[in-house]
Structures are given as structure tokens and as C-alpha cells.
Structure 1
């Protein structure tokens, strides 16, 4: 048998992989880095544009809608069941709906790629639909089913109905196949799932994002120049985007009575975001050079290389995230900041505190506290060097101890014996 035939196979399933944006494509490269000895294929979203090469398959949205209707027929109240039955007849002309969103399709892809029990399927952005699909895939393939690793990133799991979400999970966890392994990114989310659902889930499944860990950071900007504060990613309510105007205004007032270097907010967004009616419209007055506080809009459609260059150019990263979401959910920007040795000014009570507690994080709650935190970094940016170095070293250890790697050394027999 040749070496090529001996290689184990890895199928990465990422339904949200469509364009060269966000962190979905970085997860593919990170998993390839973790598992260099595996022959890798991937499944993408229905409108995937091919930028990473040919996909082994594409997952559409219609089957997911039908699977959600089925879950409401099974677990909903009378009103929800009637609504789901009507919608099913209207959409599919039947109430005999698929057992899962894409379990059968994934089973066919596994068969076409000749994946077996010694191979691996990883879903880096998993939801309840994915978990149900993994169970159906296992039922179809039986003893030939590969090991399936699902990484959950948020507490809603793709179903905002808390009661239905709980019933769907209970039904699955009561008979979870031994070949399915459950993970979360943050430890906070793993604790939440274990306490609320008694889910056999392990935290700490981090994947490097846009920044590679640099144990020797790049040269910072001179104190005589503008100190640059980065706000990265698409503006969204849960990221506290609408708070920026209040934070910048509070900071501007503080600089009237304190001697600080010019402060430049490097903010990603579309042109519409910074125009009248946009989420950052109130920041227009700070785009002129008449103040000590500036706003420099940046395109949110940067190539990975351009994003990396922009990220390295800032002195600190600002994350006024809402804890209603981010007390459990993780942030790729946090990982990027730690890898790039940047101090993080973040909302108090955020998740990922294991990564932000090395002298590299500055917590805040109110707009005034965020403004004070920015001034603290501006007053002596070099004082954060040791903390950011400790955080980067810790993060490197965390990545090296990824719980995914233990799955590779766990046989299904061992797991069944332990359950």
C-alpha cells in the first residue's frame, strides 16, 4: 500500500464559508495546520465562490429550513406544530420532512470521498442543525461512520427558541453516538452547556484566526506619533458598534484637560456605515484634523494580507462588546490581538478571560470607563509589553493542547467503555 493510500482523511464542513472574508476561511487553514498528515477536503455554503479551490460539496439553505420545520412538528406547542405543518405543505408539499438538515447529503459526500471509521469530520462552526445531521450521518453509515468533531461557538446553537432548543438537545443527548465529540471555543460556554444541558462538551477548541503568533512583536509606533486604537470587523449591535460615538466623545472631553498624544481610531466599515444614517454617522465630525482625537475609516473588504498589515499597525484593540452575547461567545479579534501582542480594551465580564488576564487586558463598562482605559494605554503603551508577551505565550500553549488532538488518540471502543 502506498503512503498516499495510508493517509487518513479529513472533511471540514463549514456552511458559512462563502467568500474570502471573516474567519471561516482561516479555520480551514488552521485545521490543515493541526492535521498535516490528513488528506483534506471541505464542504462550503451554497453560494461559495471557489476562492479556496473546489469544494467536495455545498450545503444549501432550503434543507435547513425544512429541518427546522420538522423540529417544530416534533417538539413545538400546538400553535407551532400547526404553523410548521402549514409551512411544510406550502414549501415541500408534504409533512414528511428530512430527519436532519444535511445528514444524508454529508453521508453521500463521505461515501464519495471514501471516508471510514478511521477518518475525521470537523465542523468548526456547528449548530443544532449540524448536530442532528451528524447523528443521521452516523445512522446511515453505521460502523463505517468517521469520527465527527463539532465546535459550538454560541449558546443559541442556531435556534433562538429556548424551549425548542432545549427539547432538541435533550432528544439528541439521550442517545448521542460514540463517534460524535462535542467542543466549544470558550471555557465559559462549555461550563454553560454542562450546567444547563448536562452536555458532554469540552472547552478550549481554539483555532488561530488572521494573525500568526509572533513571540517577538513588531516595533510599535513612536510616542510622538498618533497612538492608534483598532476597531475591527463588520459593525454589529452585539459588538457595541453604536457605543463608539459615546466613547470617542467622552475621550475627547478628557483630552481637553490632559496631555496625551494624538489618538487615532482605526475603524473598519463600509462607506455607508460612516455616512448619514449609518452606524458610524456620529463619528463624521472626528474625521477632520482639528481635534486631538481622530477617526480613520477603513475598508471592511480587505484581503487577508491587507487586514494583517492594518492589524499590526495599531497599538491597542478596542472591544466594547455586549456581554449578553459575549459573556459566553468568543471573539476572533481577541485571538488576533493576543497573537499580535496588542493590549485589549474590553467590556468587563467578557468571555475568554483565560486569555485576557495576563496584564494584556483593560476592562471597562461605561463609555467614560472606556475613555479612561484608552488614556491608560496611551499614557504608557510600553508598560503592556510584558503582559502581551505572557498572553501570547499562554495562547501558544493553549493552541498546542487543543482537545481535538486528544480525539485522534481516542478509539471509539475506549470511549464506549468510559461512558
Structure 2
């Protein structure tokens, strides 16, 4: 079955434009309520968190109306990171968790992500069943069985305590000057609090959300501002989160950026050295750099690749019994501690490595030489399929011939935006630019 609303990470789009409307959110809430309240009792719970987008209020209220109309009891967490929703879904014994966020997208977008009672994101099969309910007329609960809504004021504090519990016992961050960029998003309070409580000198960036400035020139997708603050203040390290704090980029003391591949390489090597890396395997997506694969091979470790999307990484981890995975974009998943990507958790693990080894961030953040990689995006008109045209197909085929034995090519549609992503890797910079640009030009012409 082809999913109409759900993409690689829930439902996402521009706020107040179909399908991200209040009416649709109400229908999604009612469908989810009917799916999870399948025995007719009134003891079912759902926790709802959100980031700092203005439209979050609208979707929070609409989802609550839909859920309570089917008899679900709603627990409202307010602004919390996505991993906090996964955590609190299980700790509060909820049947389902919902995060209202469009992650790293600009403020005018929003999204709805679902977590099952085990704290993990819903499977494709579950989302398909919810989609079927959205398309049908969901029967509301009887008046006496309408659900209740309650605001939970200490959600972020519960999450903060869980984070600190993952940090090595007795270890402190005294003497470490840390820049933390919260992208004016969901972690704008909890991230600086956790770092300060662990002893760090904290320099805050992106902690003044106004409903419109989430991810705007800050955070993991725009680390330039934090890099300058590091250089200006002489900070030791920077932690750049995205809007819902499920991904991270680490900045060293010079302001240079380490992406998810470098962070995973560090953690995989450290965990393997003490026998913690289950199956001697790291799970990552097809986007991860070839240099990461070579790094792991040299250490006798394995890289298992998946489709793009942290949910697919987690599915492969659970299926294979692996405990470390993630994405180049900064989703780092450690199932020993969390059910989904957690940027602040990954940042804390990096800081622990700094304290443990005594090395500067620049040493720990450069674990392998990357193979030159180029990624370009082309926006296309909704309803069109540029990849189906003969000229684009011919251009891709020609590029694959040119790269044969010299590199690799990956073309895919974004699961969250109307974009065609063209990525290639090759040791020859000239050839790399040539094959990417020729495909980009044909896709643009067909869009």
C-alpha cells in the first residue's frame, strides 16, 4: 500500500496548507485515537510534545480534540525534544507518543511524528492502518467516554535526569567551556540546564524562540554562528542541535564541524575497544561517507547500510541486535540509552570522551579522511516526477558509467520536502562535480 500522508518521518508540510491543516490534524488525532484505543476502555493515554513553531499551538489543540473525541486521555508536555517524547511515552505508560515538529525545516513547516508504546517510531504497517482510518469516518466515543487532557509541567526535567544518568558516574565537566546552539528550538531550556548541572561553563546560542526563528541561521544546519562564538570566546567545543534536538553537529575549538559520520566513527571505535559495540557493527544509511566504511574495515568492524531516515536505521538495529547507529546528518541512535536519535545525548558522549582521553575536540572529531562527496538538491513541482523522464534517466545512466570503479552515485526523493537529492562520491573532484551538475541540470529542466 502506498502511503498518502506519511513520509520517512511522519506527516510533514507547510502549516495551514493541506495536509498540514488544523482540520487534518484533528482527523489524524481521531484516527490515531481509534487505532490505539481499540478495546473501548477509558484508560488509554497519549503524550504530546512540540517544538517552538508558532503553528505548534494550533496542531496541539487540533490533535487533542481528535484524540479526546475517541476517548484517549492526552498528556501535554509542551516544548520538549523529540527523544523526550520517546522516553516519556514508555515511562508514563502511554499507548502512543506524538511529537509536533518539522525538525530542521524552517518555521513555516510543521510535522506530526508518532511513537508506539515501546518508545520507538511506528512501523510502516501501523502508519498504513492509521491512514486507512483517516480516510474513513471514525466513530467518536460516547459522551460519557470522551477523554481528558492534562498539562504535564515537569516533562523536560524528567528528560534531563535521564540524560544525566547516561553520563559516566562521578565525571564532571568542570573547566570545559561549551557553546550550545539550540536552534531556537525544543531544547532551548533543557540543553543549557543539563550542561551547566554537569559542571560546564555554558555559552548559549539560539535560546530565544519567538515562533518564527527556529533553525533560522542557527543550529545543526547553520553552525556558522556557533563557530564564530567559539572563536570569539575561546570555547573548547560546540554542540549544535536542530529544531527538535534529535540531531547534532559537533564543533571543535577552531569552529570546524564534525558531522554524524565522524561522531559515529569515534563512538564505534570507543565502544568496540571495551566490548560494548554489539555485533561489532555500526548501522548507518546509504548517505554515510565511504571514508567511514574504510575506517571501520581497518578496525575489523562492520557497517550495515539502510535507506535514508533514522527510523530505518533503528529498524535495522533492532532486527540485528545492534546498539549504535545513525545518519551523516547528525541523528545518533544509542539504543542502550534511547529509542531514537538524540542530539544532546550524543553531545554528552562526545564531552565524556574529551574528559576521559584528555584530547581536544579537534583530535576526537577527525577520525578518518572523507572521500570527496557532493550533495545538491533540486526542488520540483508537486505532482511531477522528474526522475521518470527519459533525459534524466539517461543522464543518471551516463553518470554511473563514468563513476564505475571510481565512486558511487545516489539519487533519491526527499521524504520530507519536494526535493530531488543528488549525491556522489569520487576521489576525482573534477569528475565528481561534472556528474552531479549534469544530473542536477536535467532534473531542474524536468521540474
* Structure with higher helix content: 1
- TM-score of the superposed pair, with normalisation by structure 1: 0.31
- TM-score of the superposed pair, with normalisation by structure 2: 0.30
